[in-house]
Amino acid sequence: MSDSPVTPVPPTGAGAETERLLRLAHQKLVAHAENTPLVVIEWDHETRISRWNAQAERVFGWSAAEVIGKGLFDWHFVHEDHYELARQITRDTFAGGRARRVLVTPNYTKSGGLVWCEWYTSVLFDDAKQPLSTLSLALDVTPYRATAEALELSRTRLTAALDGAKMLAWDMDLTTNRWETTLDIPDFYGVPRGPDYSNPELALHAVHPDDTALVTGGRQRAIDTGEPMRYEFRGRAPAPDGFPRWFSTRGQVLRDASGRPARIIAVTSDITELKRAEEQREALNRQLRDAAKWESLGVLAGGVAHDFNNILTVVLGSANLARRGLPANSSAAAYLDQIEQSCRRAAEVCRQMLAYAGRNLGGAARIDLTPLVRESAPLLAGPAAPHTVRYELANDLPLTHADSAQVRQVLVNLVTNAAEALAGAPGEIAVSTSSTEVPPGMPDGTFHLAPAPGRYARLAVGDTGPGVSAEVRARMFDPFYSTKFTGRGLGLAAVLGIVRAHKGGIRVESAPGAGTTVAVYWPGPVEQVSPPLTPSPSPRTTSAALVIDDEMFVREVTASTLEELGYTAILAADGASGVEQFHRNRDAIKVAVIDVMMPGVTGDQVLKTLRLFAPKLPAVLVSGFTDNRIVTAEFGPHTEFLQKPFHPEDLMNIVRRLTEESGMK
């Protein structure tokens, strides 16, 4: 044997070709690994780096020479927040764990910066399930992550803005019938959790059942026509205060390249507050319209009643004076009785018209509702029959300044209305009094006449009848309106006028099948007022009486009545001439009877002028209707108000009393 070295013989034939192909394949793989935009890192069976391509050097900054042979934790490469994750993955690998893994982590660069990578790792195991080699491919996603973070921040801001504006943006895929929303459906619509609201069909459970067809129809119309989508609807769940939740949707249908509808992009807004404001504004406008209607009707009713009262004053006074001239047992007396009775009935109609007009407060005084209701119990038995009246009367009510006769009229009218609501069927009428406080902002849609904030004495009349609908409730105080038969008169309309004149309120609570309760709020408390003086008769006098009235026949009847008392009547047709007559006959005039409503200078203004010169002059103010300023005005002592039409005896009694008190006989 030769000691010279043996030169290997190159393979020949098939072996040489195989080796050449393997070498070529390895060169290709290395070239691809170096040229790929992916980071390529190969780890040996001890998880030490055995390959580090050029892209790894570009991304992380270290060269292959600096990292080949290093383990995972031998250099500052793994982010400290992911140490435990890296160790767990290493333990799983040696335990024969998953062969493939995908994750995104931050990693340090040579300069100390951070780069986010999306890792795709593959592990090759031997027959004993031990790792032979691990290949990690990584994509630098730092720019994409920054973009994603910016998009997420933008989305968060948009969501916060939409949430603050009570708006929900949504994107519905018409192909998959799924949608995405910026806010949580249960939170936005106030509905229970449970259904998969990502399904638009199930999300319709958040819509009020009566409005579901409106919502689906609005979407379909936009799909069919290509027009912008616009509709409003109610939610299934009401707001916390019981008011319906209202929503408004505005959107657009997007189409694909072939023109087919592909998706709907829309925004749904919570417009509950807007709807509530609109309803309150409409209620206010309705009240303003009603107020204008009542005012115009009140002016008409007051004017008619005023004229009729003047006419009735003449008829009633003339009939009484005519009776005085009749011989005893005259057959004409019976006819005069009929005339007087008819005048009184007509005067009652006029009083109801004035009550409706809110111009009849002549007898206002400080009253307690509870004793007044107790005293009125026998009076209510007739209108309530055949039903019983149950009373729930409170003590210590605030005193209210009101006309007791008109309060009784309100009570009788309400009980009569309650009895008619029962229509003879079994049931009960309840009358109650209580003290209540109306805070600012309380009056709502159940108030037919809203009271001002303050303390009130509440008078309520309820029945257990069938109740009334909202339509009937809106008209029940209209003149001559009735659900029974036409021509019933001014019952509840008079109630409205009386309460309005007293600056009170009316609240109606009713529902079909649940009965009706009408509550009247009388304002209180009031200051102590002096009790009226007890009238006493006085002897006849031969002094003069000043009569001022723009109605000639009223002047004549009044003059004739005063002449019965022994006065010489001095007549004037208006305020100016009345003042002139007073100055001409100041020493002789012992009493004045003055009409309130006259053209030019009104009666109360005339009286103020006369009182400048004769502070103790007895005066009777008369009128066909009562202006509220007359009731509340302070004219000093020795003044009384007399409602037209009046009986001559009423005028005589007042004049006797006033002249006796003042000492001017």
pLDDT at 406: 81
Q: What is the mean pLDDT of residues 24-46?
A: 81
Total number of domains constituting the chain: 5
Q: Is 443 found in the same domain as 570? A: no
For the cut 50, the answer to whether the pLDDT of residue 1 exceeds it is no
How many other C-beta atoms are found inside a 10 Å radius of the C-beta of residue 294?
22
pLDDT at 2: 46
**pLDDT tens-digit series, residues 83-115:** 999 999 888 888 888 888 999 999 999 999 999
Give 364 or 346, the one with higher predicted confidence. 346
Q: Is 477 within a domain?
A: yes
For residue 490, what pLDDT band results from cuts at 50, 70 and 90? low
How many other C-beta atoms are found inside a 10 Å radius of the C-beta of residue 608?
13
For the cut 90, the answer to whether the pLDDT of residue 502 exceeds it is no
For residue 242, what pLDDT band results from cuts at 50, 70 and 90? confident
Question: What stretches of 204-271 show up as alpha helix (H) in DSSP?
Answer: 212-225
Q: How is 438-460 classified by DSSP, letter by letter?
A: E-TT---TTEEEPPPSEEEEEEE
For residue 354, what pLDDT band results from cuts at 50, 70 and 90? low
N- to C-terminal Cα distance for the chain? 178
Instruction: List the one residue out of 191, 310, 290, 217 whose CA is nearest residue 553.
Output: 310
Q: What percent of the chain has pLDDT over 90?
A: 25
pLDDT at 163: 65
Q: Is 8 within a domain?
A: no
Q: Is 168 found in the same domain as 126? A: no
Q: Which residues contact 166 (CB under 8 A, 6 or more apart)?
A: 269, 270
CA–CA distance, 610 with 157 (Å, rounded to integer): 78
Q: Which residues contact 659 (CB under 8 A, 6 or more apart)?
A: 538, 541, 590, 591, 618, 665
Q: Is 304 found in the same domain as 443? A: no
Q: How is 553-599 classified by DSSP, letter by letter?
A: HHHHHHHHHHHHTTPEEEEESSHHHHHHHHHHTTTTEEEEEEESS-S
Q: Is 367 left (phi over 0), alpha (psi -120 to 50) or beta?
A: beta
For residue 650, what pLDDT band results from cuts at 50, 70 and 90? confident
Give me the residue label for tokens 């009980």.
Answer: 415
pLDDT at 619: 92
Q: Is 376 found in the same domain as 495? A: yes
CA–CA distance, 580 with 572 (Å, rounded to integer): 9
Q: Is 651 found in the same domain as 564? A: yes
Q: Is 454 within a domain?
A: yes
Q: Which of 186-195's residues contact partners 24+ apart within 8 Å by CB, and which partners?
A: 188/268, 188/270, 189/235, 189/236, 189/237, 189/245, 189/247, 190/235, 190/237, 190/239, 190/245, 191/235, 191/236, 191/237
Question: Which has the minimum average pLDDT: 191-200, 326-335, 550-559, 641-650?
Answer: 326-335
> Which of 140, 166, 194 represents a domain boundary (last residue)?
140
pLDDT at 554: 83
CA–CA distance, 647 with 556 (Å, rounded to integer): 14
Confirm if 593 and 562 have CB atoms less than 8 A apart: yes
Q: Evaluate the omega torsion of the peptide bond into residue 371 and state whether it is cis, within 30 degrees of 0.
A: no
**pLDDT tens-digit series, residues 194-231:** 888 888 888 898 999 999 999 999 999 999 998 999 99
**pLDDT tens-digit series, residues 528-581:** 433 333 333 343 445 899 999 988 888 888 888 898 888 999 999 888 889 999
Q: Is 171 found in the same domain as 126? A: no
pLDDT at 536: 37
Return the CATH number at 386. Answer: 3.30.565.10
Q: What percent of the chain has pLDDT over 70?
A: 82
Q: At what angle do helices 552-564 and 272-324 cross, to 10 degrees?
A: 50
Mean pLDDT, the chain, whole residue set: 81
CA–CA distance, 141 with 118 (Å, rounded to integer): 6
Domain enclosing residue 496, as ranges: 364-523
User: The pTM is what?
Assistant: 0.41
Confirm if 591 and 658 have CB atoms less than 8 A apart: yes
Here the tokens at position 619 are 């005066």
Residue 626 three-state SS: coil
**pLDDT tens-digit series, residues 244-295:** 999 999 999 999 989 899 999 999 999 998 888 888 888 778 767 766 666 6
Dihedral sign of CA atoms 501, 507, 513, 515 in order: negative
pLDDT at 442: 62
Q: What is the mean pLDDT of residues 160-180?
A: 79
Q: Is 252 within a domain?
A: yes
Residue 152 three-state SS: helix
Q: Which residue type is seen at 397?
A: L
Q: Is 368 found in the same domain as 350? A: no
Tally the C-alpha atoms within 13 A of residue 590's C-alpha that lie toward its C-beta: 24
Torsion of CA 62, 67, 71, 72, to 10 degrees: 10
Return the CATH number at 103. Answer: 3.30.450.20
Q: How is 306-367 classified by DSSP, letter by letter?
A: HHHHHHHHHHHHHHHHHHHTSPTT-THHHHHHHHHHHHHHHHHHHHHHHHHHT---TTEEEE
Give 544 or 9, the one with higher predicted confidence. 544
pLDDT at 412: 86
Q: Is 409 found in the same domain as 517? A: yes
Residue 652 three-state SS: helix
Give me the residue label for tokens 């259904």.
Answer: 195
> Which of 355, 378, 409 represents a domain boundary (last residue)?
355
pLDDT at 208: 94
Here the tokens at position 22 are 């393997």
Burial classification of residue 256, based on how many CB atoms lie within 10 Å of its CB (0-12 exposed, 13-18 middle, 19 or more buried): exposed
Q: Is 1 within a domain?
A: no
pLDDT at 538: 40
For the cut 60, the answer to whether the pLDDT of residue 4 exceeds it is no
Which H helix or E strand runs over 509? strand 505-510
How many other C-beta atoms are found inside a 10 Å radius of the C-beta of residue 601?
16
Q: Is 237 found in the same domain as 170? A: yes
Read off φ and ψ for residue 517, nearest 5 degrees: -130, 125
Q: Is 617 within a domain?
A: yes
**pLDDT tens-digit series, residues 456-489:** 999 999 998 888 877 776 777 776 555 553 334 4
Q: Is 561 found in the same domain as 445? A: no
CA–CA distance, 83 with 578 (Å, rounded to integer): 111
Q: Is 74 within a domain?
A: yes
Return the CATH number at 654. Answer: 3.40.50.2300
Confirm if 597 and 570 have CB atoms less than 8 A apart: no
> Cα Rg for the chain, rounded, in angstroms?
49
Q: Is 650 within a domain?
A: yes
Read off φ and ψ for residue 440, nearest 5 degrees: -60, 135
- Cα 18 to the chain's mean position, in Å? 91
> Which of 106, 140, 174 represents a domain boundary (last residue)?
140
Q: Is 454 found in the same domain as 309? A: no
Torsion of CA 591, 597, 602, 606, to 10 degrees: 0
Q: Is 394 found in the same domain as 340? A: no
